[in-house]
């Protein structure tokens, strides 16, 4: 245990600066996306997949064929999003794409799954922003309420079970469980 707390440095959020990070686009584009995201993605008012794909492409996302977006999906910056063919994105999924997020073909993000590309450096007084890309390779399945943290690659056909947290890369065809997620067995597809 730390004995003398008075000499320790403390977090100072007034010194926060996310330099050199830049969210891409200009301020108008980011504001326009913010409201588009609220109306068409984060709500249940527009359940039409085709419209959502059109809007994402309009904002710079690369989207494959037959991609399904359920209601209440939150996407940070679509210009940092690359999605393959036949991808399912369930209700209440959050794709926090501060930097590139790549979803291969036949990926499934179940209800309430979270993909994170940003965090903060808790060792710095200024709580600096840290960003790293996330890759979900073909056939990966992220279970309901599971979380993939920044810098993680989920290997081809790997499974992250419901409520689990991936903090390190997941091997292809592995099934991972827990927080932090550990491999519990191999995925065998019949």
Q: What is the CA radius of gyration of the chain?
A: 18
Token couple for 128: 């600096």
Q: Do residues 139 and 108 make contact, with C-beta atoms less than 8 angstroms apart?
A: no
Predicted local distance difference test score (pLDDT) of residue 9 = 84
Q: What is the pLDDT of residue 2?
A: 56
User: Of 84, 69, 85, nearest to 36 (Cα)?
Assistant: 69
Q: Where are the alpha helices (DSSP H) in 17-148?
A: 27-36, 49-58
- For each of the domains in the chain, give its residue range(s) and CATH number, in order of start: 25-186 (2.160.10.10)
Q: Sheet of 108-109: strands edge to edge?
A: 68-69, 88-89, 108-109, 141-142, 159-160, 174-177, 182-186
In degrees and rounded to multiples of 5, residue 131 shows phi and psi of -130, 145
Token pair 């039409």: residue: 48
Is 135:150 a contact under the CB 8 Å cutoff? Answer: no
88-144 pLDDT per residue, tens: 999 999 999 999 999 999 999 999 999 999 999 999 999 999 999 999 999 999 999
How is residue 148 annotated by DSSP? E
Burial of 103 (0-12, 13-18, 19+ CB in 10 A): buried
Q: What is the pLDDT of residues 135-189, one digit of tens each?
A: 999 999 999 999 999 999 999 999 999 999 999 999 999 999 999 999 999 999 9
Q: pTM for this structure? A: 0.92
Backbone angles phi, psi at 37, to 5 degrees: -60, -45
């Amino acid at each position: 245990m730390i004995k003398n707390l008075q000499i320790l440095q403390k977090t100072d959020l007034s010194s926060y600066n996310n330099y050199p990070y830049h969210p891409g686009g200009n301020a108008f584009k980011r504001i326009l996306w913010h409201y588009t995201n609220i109306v068409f993605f984060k709500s249940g008012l527009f359940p039409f997949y085709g419209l959502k794909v059109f809007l994402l492409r309009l904002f710079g996302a690369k989207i494959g064929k037959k991609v399904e977006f359920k209601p209440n999906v939150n996407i940070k910056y679509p210009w940092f999003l690359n999605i393959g063919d036949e991808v399912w994105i369930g209700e209440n999924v959050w794709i926090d794409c501060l930097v590139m997020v790549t979803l291969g073909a036949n990926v499934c993000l179940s209800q309430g799954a979270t993909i994170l590309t940003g965090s903060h450096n808790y060792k710095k007084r200024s709580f600096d922003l840290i960003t790293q890309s996330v890759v979900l390779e073909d056939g990966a399945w992220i279970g309901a309420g599971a979380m993939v943290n920044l810098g993680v690659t989920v290997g081809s056909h790997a499974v992250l079970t419901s409520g689990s947290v991936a903090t390190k890369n997941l091997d292809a065809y592995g099934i991972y469980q827990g927080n932090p997620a550990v491999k519990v067995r191999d995925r065998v597809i019949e």
